[in-house]
Amino acid sequence: MGQRRLFLRLLVALLCCVASRSHSLQLTNCNVSELSTLNNVESLTSLSLLHCNLPQVRANLFQGYAQLLRLELSHCSLTDLAKSALNGLQRLRRLSLAHNNISEIKSWSEETLAGLSALDASHNRIVQLAALSFAAYPQLQELNLGHNLITKLEPDAFHGLQHLKQLQLQENRLQQIDGKCFHGLPRLHSLALQHNQINHVAVAAFESNTHLRSLRLEFNQVSNMQFLQDPGLSRLVLLNLSRNALSNLAPLTFSQNVELQYLDLSFNQLRQLDNDSFIGLDLLEHINVSHNNVDEIHGDCLEPLSTLQQLDLGYNQLSSLPDQLFQTTTQLRSIDLTHNKLEKLPLHLLSQLIHLNRLNLAENRLDNAAWLQHLAAALNRLALRIDLSSNHIRSLNLSSLALFEHVYLADNRWDCMWLTRNMLRTPPATLSFDRSWPMLSAWSEDLMNVRGIDCFDGEQNRSIVLLDVGIARQQQSKSCNCEVNGDDISPLTPPLTWPKIRTDRFDSRSVIIWMLVAIALAFSGLRWGQRFMDRKEVTKKLQKANDEQANKVDEEAQRLRNGRER
Ligand SMILES: *[C@@H]1O[C@H](CO)[C@@H](O)[C@H](O)[C@H]1NC(C)=O
Ligand SMILES: *[C@@H]1O[C@H](CO)[C@@H](O)[C@H](O)[C@H]1NC(C)=O
Ligand SMILES: *[C@@H]1O[C@H](CO)[C@@H](O)[C@H](O)[C@H]1NC(C)=O
Ligand SMILES: *[C@@H]1O[C@H](CO)[C@@H](O)[C@H](O)[C@H]1NC(C)=O
Ligand SMILES: *[C@@H]1O[C@H](CO)[C@@H](O)[C@H](O)[C@H]1NC(C)=O
Ligand SMILES: *[C@@H]1O[C@H](CO)[C@@H](O)[C@H](O)[C@H]1NC(C)=O
Ligand SMILES: *[C@@H]1O[C@H](CO)[C@@H](O)[C@H](O)[C@H]1NC(C)=O
């Protein structure tokens, strides 16, 4: 039975194979003479030649391939494609010449390739694009010229590509975008110019590209954003200017880009966000200004962004925030202010935000979190994650923090007295105070990570390590080659090499106290676990008994029914 099914499956696979063979063909490591011996090429719809040795393609090489829809010649060291190399491929839709040595785009067919909709010439050695380079391919919709050596786009280089939607020019050597480079591309939807050396974009560069939705300019040297004032860019949805040379945002920079939803300005040198910097961005949802030098934000700066959901201002120089910053951005879900110099937050800063679910304030200088008492009443606190790690907080109202999904509190300046008192009451599991302490142990070569909390006594530094003895023992029995049995180790003397902990004025008494606390916790956890397991066992037994009983009753009923029928 099984054998027959296997045979059938094999047969089907074979048939499929044969069927597809007659339509598509892939050859690797081939050469021209092999190519010219192929027969039945007239029925082929797809031909892939990968890693073949084809430095030149002579005229009419593909003359017989009347049905071909897809042709790929990649990694073939292709350098010279004759003027009529693609003659006869009237139905061709997709052509890939990626990863070769082509230096020029030409008309590779005497008749226009009227069906060609996608051309991939990426990873070649194209240096320049002359005017009307693509005149022979008027139906192109996708054009990939990425990873070439293009330094200049002649005016009207893409002229005639009425249907082009996607143009990729990333990873080239472009320096300027002139006024007429992208002329005659009325349907252009997305334009990729990232990873070039663009330092100037002409004011009217995108005048005729009125359908442009995505413009990627990251990793360039753009310092002036005047080109954004072009009415041609009024339908832009995504603008990426990450890693450029922007140093200021002129007033009304984005006033024409009214449909923008994603704006990335990260990794620039912006210093200031003014009241009129973002006017016009009525539909913006995500803005990233991280990794700049912003040290001043004016109160009404975010006021126009009433649909903003995600704000990233991490890695800047902010030392304070204006009271009314988030007054109108009531849709905000995520705020990132990591790695600034914030010393305190206005008490009512977040009181309008009812959708907030991520708040990252790590690596600042906050010494309190009083503003947490003033969040919006309608906010779902159980869905909010707050990161307050690496700040200067000495103590907190822990009962007010228990309501959140999670609060990260590691690496603050905890007051030892306060910490001790609160740790004895076992803080809720949604708070994490501890961080990892890499240390060497006597039984293993590997660094062991012990979780610990540090705290400070007055101005003197002091670290306290809270040992999770359970984990330490587990790790030991796992990596131990010695004959020592886990039970033989006294829990009071964990074999750790203490000097590896970076501490000063080490207080061994408090360490022992903490260890005792930890051990007590571990044991009570174990006991509780055992009790839980026992209870579960009993429940399971009861269940089983019940089931058996039920089965018996069923059988009884069945028997009775059968009897009656008879
Ligand atoms: C093409 O490849 C075949 C088989 O690998 C080989 O016999 C033949 O000599 C090659 N022809 C050329 C022109 O390199
Ligand atoms: C590509 O062309 C360059 C010079 O034009 C040559 O040095 C290089 O070897 C060629 N690469 C391949 C893979 O043919
Ligand atoms: C902008 O480009 C950078 C680098 O390629 C990328 O990491 C980031 O996600 C992009 N931003 C947007 C909004 O797409
Ligand atoms: C902002 O950009 C930085 C750097 O590219 C990135 O790490 C971060 O995730 C981005 N933030 C958002 C909200 O996309
Ligand atoms: C920005 O707006 C705030 C709030 O309306 C105002 O107090 C401040 O003076 C404005 N700043 C500038 C530079 O106009
Ligand atoms: C701590 O927070 C709780 C809950 O928000 C509040 O009822 C209590 O008054 C606060 N205690 C102090 C000392 O602020
Ligand atoms: C004491 O703590 C301060 C602030 O955390 C730190 O800058 C300093 O290096 C610490 N001193 C020692 C000896 O660790």
DSSP secondary structure of 372-428: GGGS-TT--GGG-EEE--SS------HHHHTTSSEEE--S---BHHHHHHHHHT---
The answer, yes or no, to whether any atom of ligand 3 lies below 6 A from the CB of 171, is: no
Residue whose CA lies nearest to ligand 2 atom number 12? 77
**Given this model, what pLDDT does residue 267 score?**
98
Map residue 511 onto helix, strand or coil.
helix
Please report the pLDDT score of residue 536 as a whole number.
64
The neighbouring-strand residues paired with 287 are 263, 311
32 Cα nearest atom in ligand 1: 13
pLDDT averaged over consecutive 10-residue blocks of the chain (566 residues)? 50 46 82 85 91 90 90 94 90 96 92 94 95 92 97 90 96 93 92 97 93 97 94 94 96 93 98 95 97 96 96 97 95 98 95 96 95 93 96 89 92 88 81 81 70 80 65 57 40 35 48 69 76 65 59 59 54
CB of 288 closer than 6 angstroms to any ligand 4 atom: yes
Q: Are 253 and 225 in contact (CB under 8 A)?
A: yes
pLDDT of amino acid 521 = 80
Q: Using a CB cutoff of 8 Å and minimum separation of 24, what contacts does 386-390 make?
A: 386/359, 386/360, 386/361, 387/338, 387/359, 387/360, 387/361, 387/362, 388/361, 388/362, 388/412, 389/362, 389/363, 389/435, 390/362, 390/363, 390/364
Cross-strand bridge partners of residue 201: 177
Protein residue with its CA nearest to atom 8 in ligand 7: 461
- Give the number of the ligand closest to the Cα of residue 402: 6
How far is ligand 5, taken at its centre, from the CA of residue 352, in Å? Answer: 20
**Which of 252, 245, 365 lies closest to 317, judged by CA?**
365
d(CA 327, CA 350): 8
Give first-to-last CA distance, the chain, whole Å.
39
Candidates 221, 229, 243; CA nearest to 177 is: 221
> Using CA atoms, how far apart are residues 182 and 233, in angstroms rounded to an integer?
13
Q: pLDDT at position 364, please?
A: 97
Q: Is the CB of 266 under 6 A from ligand 4?
A: yes
Whether 397 lines ligand 6, by a CB cut-off of 6 Å, is yes
Residue range(s) of every CATH 3.80.10.10 domain in the chain: 13-130
Cβ 504 under 6 angstroms from ligand 7: yes
Q: Is 290 in the pocket of ligand 4 (CB under 6 A)?
A: yes
Give 339's DSSP letter. Answer: S
Q: With contact defined as beta carbons under 8 Å apart, do 50 and 72 qualify?
A: yes
Alpha carbon distance 312, 263 (integer Å): 11
Cα 384 to the chain's mean position, in Å?
21
Mutation probe of ligand 7 site: the residue of 435, 456, 461 with most atoms within 8 A of C-beta: 461
The pLDDT value recorded for residue 15 is: 46
The per-residue pLDDT for 486 is: 38
Q: What is the pLDDT of residue 525?
A: 75
- CA–centroid distance, residue 317 to ligand 3 (Å): 22
Strands (E), 244-379: 262-264, 272-273, 286-288, 296-297, 310-312, 334-336, 358-360
**Coil, strand or helix: which one is 436?**
strand
CB atoms within 10 A of CB 537: 10
Residues with CB under 6 A from ligand 2: 77, 101
Residue 115 burial (C-beta neighbours within 10 Å; 0-12, 13-18, 19+): middle
Do residues 446 and 479 lie in contact, with contact meaning Cβ atoms separated by under 8 Å?
yes
CATH fit for domain 13-130, picks 2.30.110.10, 3.80.10.10, 3.40.50.720, 2.30.30.90: 3.80.10.10
Residue type, 545: A
